[in-house]
Amino acid sequence: MTDVRPNDGSIARAAELFKILSSPSRLTILTLLAKSPSTVSHLVAMTGQSQPLVSQHLRTLRVAKVVTVDRVGREATYSIADTHVTHVVEDAISHVLEDTP
């Protein structure tokens, strides 16, 4: 485990990241983006969520620097900014599946 110094703010920043990851909708979007970069319309089709809701979640993830966006004209393609986060998500999902009969 990384050397953590309680007063350097790293624990508070990690807690903020976990708050962002606490949304099932955002976790779904991240698992899809971990497979391949996607447009908003593709994510809408894959998640069944409305376009405004997907866009709102992507904005939250972008502000937190979890995803990046590349724009070509009016089309925006989102991708994972750092695979560390996808590993955390994958590990959490694997953990809960261990208890599934």
The CATH number assigned to the domain with range 10-98 reads: 1.10.10.10
Is residue 1 scored above 60 in pLDDT? no
- Please write the tens of the pLDDT for every residue from 26-76: 999 999 999 999 999 999 999 999 999 999 999 999 999 999 999 999 899
Question: What pLDDT score was predicted for residue 101?
Answer: 66
Residue whose pair of structure tokens reads 């391949």 in the numeric block: 36
Which segments of the chain are extended strands (E)? 38-39, 67-72, 75-80
pTM exceeds 0.75: yes
Q: How confident is the model at residue 8 (pLDDT cuts 50, 70, 90)?
A: confident
Which phi and psi (to 5°) does residue 70 adopt?
Answer: -115, 125
Q: Which two tokens stand for residue 43?
A: 């994510």
Give the residue from 41, 42, 43 showing the smallest Cα distance to 25: 43
CA pair distance 54, 45, nearest whole angstrom: 10
